[in-house]
Structure 1
Amino acid sequence: MASRPRSSRTRRALLAALVIASVAVPVSGAARPSAVPAPAPAALAPLRDATPADLAERYAATRNGIRDAERAAAAHGDRKRAAVLRAMAGPERRFLSFDGRDGGRTAEVFGDLSRAGRIAVLVPGSDTGLDRYARLRAGAKALKRELGGRSAVVAWLGYRTPGTVSPQVLTPGRADAAAPALRRFVAQLRATRPAARVSLLCHSYGAVVCGRAAAGLDVADIVLYGSPGAGADDAAGLRTRATVWAGRGTGDWIAHVPHARLRLPFTTVGLGADPVAPEFGARVFPAGRGGHSDYLRPGSVPLENIARIVSGETPAQEDRRA
C-alpha cells in the first residue's frame, strides 16, 4: 500500500504533538509554585546615547529595581528567587532594563556598550526566565570572550518564553507578542550606537521571535541556531535585508521536530520550514556535533562561527571539535 503524502504525515504529527502537550502541561503545571510577586519597574527614558555617564545612570536605576524585586521575593518566602536577584544586583552587573514580574524581563550587557563596534543580541528560547537565567548568562559571557575587545553582547530576555513541553511552544503566539518589544529594543540600540554592527542571535524558540520581528529591522545578521522554524516558509518570507544564517548541531534533537505550519480555525500549529534546509535559503554555517544547549559552549565550533558572523567574517570550516 502506498504511504501517505509527506504533508499529511506532518499535519498528523503536529496535531498529535499539540494534543500531547495539552494533556501534559496541566499535569506538570499543578506542581509549579505560584507566581513570585515583584513591583512594577520605574519608568526609564528611551535609550538615546551611550556615553559612560548615561549608561552608568541607567545601570544604577535598574540595579535599584532588581533590589526591590529581591525584597519582594524574600517577603514572599521564595529564597531561591531572592538569591538569584541578589546576584543580579551585584555591582559588576549591568542591565539596560529589568522587570521581575511574570517570569522576568531583562536585558543584561556584557562588555562596554559605549565603545562597542560590534553588538550581538541574544534572544533565548523556551523555559528561560529569572530562575533559569544562568544558562543564558553563561552563553553571553562565552560569546563576549570569543569576540574580544570593542564588542558587546546583550542577553535579551524581553518576553514570556513558552515551556518546552507546552501547547504554546508549538505555535507562534508568544513570538507574535514578543516581536514588537524586540523591534523597539533594537531600534533604541541602533539609536544608541548608530555606527555599530548589530547582529541578532536567535536560539530555539527565539528564532521564531526573531522571524516575527525581522521585517525592516536594522541589523546586519539574523542567526538562527537550534531552530524549530522561524515562522516563515523561507528566508525571503522574513522580509529582511539582513543576512540570514542557520546552523544546527548533529546531536540536536530539534531536527526531529516537524517543520511545517498547520492553520486551524483559532490558531496556527507549527513554526514553519526548516531553516537549515536548502530550500529555506539561509546561509548555513557549520555547527559541530553538539546538542541543543551546546551552541555557545566555550571552545565549540558553533561558538567560533557565530562570533565570526557577528564580526562580519566568513564562518570557519567544521573541524573535529564538538
Structure 2
Amino acid sequence: MLAAVVAASVALPVAAAARPAAVPAPVPDVPFDVGAGTPAALAQRYAANRDGIRAAAHTAAAHGDRRRADSLRAMAAPGRRFVSFDGRDGGRSAEVFGDLAHAGRIAVLVPGSDTGLDAYGRFRAGAEALRGELHADPADDGPGAVVAWLGYATPSTVSPESLTADRAEAAAPRLREFVRSLTAARPGARVSLLCHSYGSVVCGRAAAGLRVADIVLYASPGVGADTAADLRTPATVWAGRGADDWVGEVPHVRIPLLVTTLGFGRDPVSPAFGACPFPAGTGGHSDYLTPGSVPLRSMAGIVKGEAACARPGAARPPLKGEAAGPGAAVTADLPCPYLQCPGPAARPLPATALPQTPRSPFPYAQGPALPHLRSHGRAHA
C-alpha cells in the first residue's frame, strides 16, 4: 500500500513538470572551480566569467530566448562576482558574496529544485541575506563570505526526478570537486555547506571525505541515509525544519524499483537520525533565509562556529501540535545571541525556539498531502 501511495506521485502529467530546453551557450574559458584564492587571481577570474556571461547572453538573444538573455545580462552587471560559470546544458554558476580572498568563514549554499539561471532571484536573495547576517554584529572578528553554488541541473518540484536521488548522484561529484578547490584556495578558512531541500540529497551524496566544518540540512526530505553517521563525514551535521514547512508531510521511506529508488529515508530532524538540531522558526519551505528570521540567525551562528550541538541524551523537541511542557525543553550549549538566553551557561530552550519534529507517518489510507498540493508554504524544494 505504501509503495503504491508514493509511486502514485510520479504519475503526474509530465508536461506540468517540463523544464525549459537547454539554450545554446559558448564553451567557457574558465574551469568550473575556484582557482587561486589571492585577491588578484579572484579579480581576474571574476572579470573573465563576466565576459563569459555576456557572451552567453548574446548567444541566448540570437537563439531567441529573451528570458535567458535578460537573466544573463543581469548576472553580468558590474559588481557581480562569479567564480565559476557555464551557460551550457541549462547553465551552472557559483556566485560570491563578500570578500572571498580574505574570508575566514565561508558558507556554500546548495539549492533545491526549481532553481536555475532563469529562476535565480530567490537563491541570490537568500545568499545576500546570509552574508548580511554574518556581518550583522559589529563585534564580529574577520570577514565572512557566501558562495551560491548552482552547480547542477535541479529537478522540478512537480516531477518524478524530485523523488529519486538520480540528479543528486550526478551532482555530488561536482559539488565535491568544487568544495575541494575552495578549501585548496582558502586552506585556513572554516567552510560550511548549507543544503536546502533537494540540495540536502546532493550534500548527502557528496559528504564523505569533504573537508568542511558543518553540513546543514534544512527543509530536507531526507538524504538517503538512516543516520548522520552513515554520511561518513567528519563535519558536524545539523538539521532544522520550520513549523509550516510542507516537507514535513513527505513520507520518509525508500522504495526500491527496477532502475531507481523512490524516497530518501529517515527524517533528518528526527532524534534517531542523530543530527544536531537548530532553531528553525515557524516559517514555510522557502522562508529559511528571510532577513531577520530565526533560521537565518541560527545558520549564521553555525557558519561562524558559535553554535554547539545539543548535549547527548537531551529530551526531544515537542511533536508538531503537542503542548510544550517541562519535558519538552532541551538543554543545549548554543550561543546566547541566537537563543536570547541569559548568562554563559547552557539553559533549557523554550519549545518554540526548537525545530519542529513532524507527526509520525500520517494515515496513508487517507492519502498523503503531496508537496506540490500543499496550500501553505511555497512549493520550492
| Fold shared per TM-score above 0.5 | yes
1:4 paired residue number = none
Change (3 A) 1:45 1:207: closer
Per-residue Cα deviation, 1:82-109 (whole angstroms, up to 9, x for no partner): 1111110012000011111222100000
Trace 1:1-322 onto structure 2 (pairs within 5 A). 9=2, 11-18=3-10, 20=11, 23-24=12-13, 26-29=14-17, 34-44=21-31, 47-148=34-135, 150-314=143-307, 315=334, 316-317=338-339
Count of residue pairs the alignment pairs up: 309
Q: Partners of 1:45 and 1:257 in 2: how far apart?
A: 34
Partners in 2 of 1:62 and 1:109 — Cα distance? 12
Q: Give the secondary structure class of the aligned counterpart of 2:253.
A: coil
Find the aligned partners of 1:143 and 1:55 in 2 and give their Cα distance: 21
Judging changes above 3 Å, is the alpha-carbon distance between structure 1 residues 233 and 162 closer, same or farther for their aligned structure 2 residues? Answer: same
Asked if the contact 1:13/1:258 (under 8 Å) is kept, the reply is no
CA distance in 2, matches of 1:139, 1:167: 26
Deviation at residue 35 of structure 1 after TM alignment: 3.0
Whole-Å separation in 1 of the counterparts to 2:276 and 2:50: 39
Cα deviation code 1:13-59 (max 9, x no counterpart): 322222x3xx32x23256x6543221121243964531111001111
Question: Whole-Å Cα distance in 1 between the matches of residues 252 and 32 of structure 2?
Answer: 41
Kindly tell me: are residues 290 and 45 of structure 1, through their superposed partners in 2, closer, same or farther at Cα, counting changes over 3 Å? Answer: closer
Q: Structure 2 stretches of 5 or more lacking a match? A: 136-141, 308-333, 340-348, 356-381
Paired letter, 1:232: A
Q: Could you list the runs of 5+ residues in structure 1 that have no partner in the other structure? A: 1-7
User: Judging changes above 3 Å, is the alpha-carbon distance between structure 1 residues 86 and 45 closer, same or farther for their aligned structure 2 residues?
Assistant: closer
Q: Secondary structure at the match of 2:216?
A: strand
Moved over 6 A (4+): 318-322
CA contact (8 A) 2:207 2:232 kept: yes
Q: Do the aligned partners of residues 199 and 33 (structure 1) sit closer, same or farther apart at CA in structure 2, a change above 3 Å counting?
A: closer
Cα deviation digits, residues 198-235 of structure 1 (max 9, x gap): 00000000000000000011000000000001121111
Q: Give SS of 1:198's match.
A: strand
Larger mean Cα displacement after TM superposition, 43-52 or 248-257: 43-52
The question of whether the paired residues in 2 share the 8 Å contact of 1:190 and 1:218 is answered with yes
Please, what is the CA RMSD of the aligned residues? Answer: 1.8
* TM-score, normalization by structure 1: 0.92
Cα distance in 1, alignment partners of residues 34 and 248 from structure 2: 38
Deviation at 1:313, TM superposition (A): 1.0
The one-character-per-residue Cα deviations of 1:245-264 (angstroms, maximum 9, x if unpaired) are: 00000000000111111111
Q: Is the 8 A contact 1:122 1:201 kept in 2?
A: yes
Q: TM-score, normalised by structure 2?
A: 0.78
Matched residue of 2:200: which SS? helix
User: Is the Cα–Cα contact under 8 Å of residues 107 and 157 in structure 1 kept in the other structure?
Assistant: yes
CA-to-partner distance for each residue in 1:233-284, whole Å, 9 max, x for gaps?
A: 1111101110000000000000011111111121111112100001000011
- Work out the percentage of aligned pairs sharing the same amino acid: 65
Alpha carbons of 1:224 and 1:29: their partners in 2 closer, same or farther (altered >3 Å)?
A: closer
Q: Which amino acid aligns with 2:104?
A: G
